[in-house]
Amino acid sequence: MAKAVRKEEILDPDKRPLTKMQAGRLAGLTGVEAKEFAGKVVAELSERFKWQLDVSLFLFRRVCGQVVKRDPVTGRVYPVPFATVHVEDTDCNLLGYFPAGWHWGWYFPLSCRREEIATVVTDECGRFCVYIPRFDIDWILKFRKERICFPDIFIRPNLRELLEDLKIWPEPPVIRRPFPEPDPIPFLLNDGGLRLRRIEEAAGPQVAGRLAAIQATAMLGAATGDAGRMLEARAFTQPVAPPLPAQMQRMPGREVAQELLLRYNLEPKLLERFNPEYYIGPFRRCWDVLVPEWVPLLDVPDITFRVTQDVDGDGDQEVIYSESFFDVRWDSGSIPDVTLEASQIALAGLTCDSPEVPCQEPMIVLAGKMPLHNLPAPADPYHDNTTGYARRTNRPHPSGDLVDPLPNPLASSPMAGTFPVLGCNQMEGAVYYRLMYAYRAPGGASFSAPVPFVNVSWSLYRWVGSPGHLEILHVTPDANGWYSILNPADMWLPQNILLNWPSGNYQDGTYRISMQMGNAAKAVIHTTPELAVYIDNSSPSTSRFTGLAWRRVGDIAWTELGLVCPVVRRNPGEDIEFRVDYIAAAAHLRSFVLSAGGCGGGGINLVSPLSTAQHWHTNALDNSVAGSAIYRLPGSSLPGAYSFHLHVDSRAFNPDDANGLTSDWNYDPTHIWVNRQLAVAVVE
């Protein structure tokens, strides 16, 4: 177990004594003997060597980031509060592995030296900032600059670089002619889903669908924060196993080490700790010089992170993130925030950065971060308390086009996913509270009798005492849904959570929610007015292709192909057309895009109106489109495989979204979607 770190032990950056490794690095940059620096603090050294050494060496770089935990089912990340981030100077001997034909390389750590140079405790949102001596970073940059390819091969690829390597990104420019043309189909959806399928293969379906949905609603001048964060995030959030040679996979670890010793004439001491199952990567690889498959890389410096947290409440901190290598892209410019993804044993928070909850009287105030009460007219309402719909998010487009400038009519968007319900439960004489709900099924005429939410639990956190330590409160109701009312002065975080609602565990439909206040005997002494919330976690699963037919250009009749292994036999150089029949439907349809793509010089192009291949709902009842689109394949296009792609989005959204808060809920998110693919072979 790791030693607990007290906040009182976290020194100011310029008051922390330099370690032996730091002294050696500073000596290497200045020519002054390391003994002049070891054990001294930066504040003292800065004054002592004020006009002898470069003053910038005694400055600090601020590195910020967040510790998060990923939900393995939904892929959503949650903050890890009050964890201790340990920053370490690290020198490692590595064995680099650069397999032929691969874009990436891997490293096998042989031995490492680590010395802690800073610590910091994350806040309730898992965020942290730490100050690192400038000379530490300068030493890493100097070391890499002096070696061929080192500035590049220790960079973990982000999603943008991964897509660039796969020739998927960046988006090609759109050439506009002098006369008006229809808006183009979004870049990731305009080729029959080929790019999207490749993104799914490389980064997973959640990333692919989210990028496609973001791009489908992108407008000139709109903020790029959501897509930008996705593209700059690490491409591989989990280690990817290196493609070891088949012979090596069958050999025990010691035999592998002996084989490498003989093949590459390495020192035996270097491979004493070699383990083919212990690797880090993948990383970008060098293409500027010829690189052997195996390369020893000695005394490579870096600044790494280790994160600990008291996950079991025993007072000792357990490691939740370790063996960090090359997490930060060190350079002379701005340093991007780093995200440290903790293991599944970490204690994660629910939400953070929520708006302030007024507590003048008992009331339910927020669903996630979205208000359930409206501003005075004439401002657009956030929420309709009759239907339970959000009114600003995913508004209809009267034109039916994907891009339709505001102002648009008010929305009818349900909520989905897991999100907290926040409000005020302070009242004189009240000791307990519970949330009640009456339910009406979609299309139903009446509501059920109110019943309490039961078996819904969550955890709250706080940092208390001197020395400080993490405390955890597991919020659990009794059998009738009663929760104890907490004292706000106790500072449990996040504050004001009344319920962490896993709405996906409940039936879709309308919920009228109220809060009951109870005295010490759990007798109801007050009930708040009901608030309606519409929940829809359903997938647009009924969306599908319903038919495929073809004909020669100029013919009238269509030949049905069916949907199972369709094959078209055409004459060489013959222009042909496809009719694609589909249904795009959802309980609450937001939009759909149909596209086509494949091999060949001339491509495959839409010739029916653009409205046959894309649509945004025009009103609350516009939830199903059954249509047909016609695509033309020129005779100049090569025979081969072509495909059609149908992407359908629900307008249901999770209200615990910081992007919605930033845009005051006038935005077009997508949290639920479906992709359908239909392939056809063209032969001559």
Q: What digits encode the pLDDT tens for the residues 43-55?
A: 999 889 988 998 8
pLDDT in tens, 636-656: 888 988 999 999 999 999 999
Q: Is the pLDDT of residue 178 over 50?
A: no
Q: How far is CA 77 from CA 71, 277, 341, 356, 432, in A?
A: 6, 27, 9, 23, 31
Q: pLDDT exceeding 90 applies to what percent of the chain?
A: 53
Average of per-residue pLDDT across 90-97: 90
Q: Is the pLDDT of residue 558 over 60?
A: yes
Q: Would you place residue 101 in the very low, low, confident or very high pLDDT band (cuts 50, 70, 90)?
A: confident
Q: Is the pLDDT of residue 521 over 60?
A: yes
Average of per-residue pLDDT across 208-218: 64
Helical packing angle, 225-232 and 205-216, nearest 10°? 150
pLDDT of residue 537: 97
Per the CB < 8 A criterion, the answer to whether 359 and 433 are in contact is no
Nearest of 111, 235, 220 to residue 163 by alpha carbon = 235
Q: Is the pLDDT of residue 183 over 50?
A: no
Q: Is the pLDDT of residue 210 over 80?
A: no
Q: Would you place residue 288 in the very low, low, confident or very high pLDDT band (cuts 50, 70, 90)?
A: confident
Strands 567-569, 576-585: parallel, antiparallel or unpaired by DSSP? unpaired
pLDDT of residue 467: 67
Residue 37 exposed, middle or buried by CB count within 10 Å (0-12, 13-18, 19+): buried
Please tell me the distance from the alpha carbon of residue 564 to that of residue 548, in angstroms, as a whole number: 10
Average of per-residue pLDDT across 122-151: 89
Q: How far apart are the first and last CA of the chain?
A: 68
Please tell me the distance from the alpha carbon of residue 38 to that of residue 145, in angstroms, as a whole number: 26
pLDDT of residue 468: 74
| Alpha helices, DSSP H, located in 129-279 | 134-145, 150-153, 159-165, 194-203, 205-216, 225-232, 246-249, 253-264
pLDDT of residue 201: 64
Q: Would you place residue 11 in the very low, low, confident or very high pLDDT band (cuts 50, 70, 90)?
A: low
pLDDT of residue 289: 80
**Token pair in block for residue 156:** 């973990």
HSE-CB of 278 using CA atoms within 13 angstroms: 16
Q: Is the pLDDT of residue 276 over 90?
A: no
pLDDT in tens, 460-517: 999 887 667 888 999 999 999 999 999 999 999 999 999 999 999 999 999 999 999 9
The larger pLDDT score, comparing residue 189 to residue 611, is at 611
User: Which of 132-136, 224-228, 598-602 has the weakest average pLDDT?
Assistant: 224-228
Please tell me the distance from the alpha carbon of residue 648 to that of residue 672, in angstroms, as a whole number: 9
The larger pLDDT score, comparing residue 524 to residue 185, is at 524
pLDDT in tens, 431-476: 999 999 999 999 999 999 999 999 999 999 998 876 678 889 999 9
pLDDT of residue 436: 98
Return mean pLDDT, the chain.
86
Q: Would you place residue 206 in the very low, low, confident or very high pLDDT band (cuts 50, 70, 90)?
A: low
Q: Would you place residue 5 in the very low, low, confident or very high pLDDT band (cuts 50, 70, 90)?
A: very low
Whether this prediction's pTM lies above 0.85 is answered by no
Q: Is the pLDDT of residue 174 over 50?
A: no
Kindly write down the DSSP assignment for every residue of 545-562, as one continuous string. EEEEEEEETT--S-EE--
Nearest of 341, 330, 322 to residue 154 by alpha carbon = 330
Per the CB < 8 A criterion, the answer to whether 531 and 365 are in contact is no
pLDDT of residue 217: 56
pLDDT in tens, 193-202: 667 677 766 6
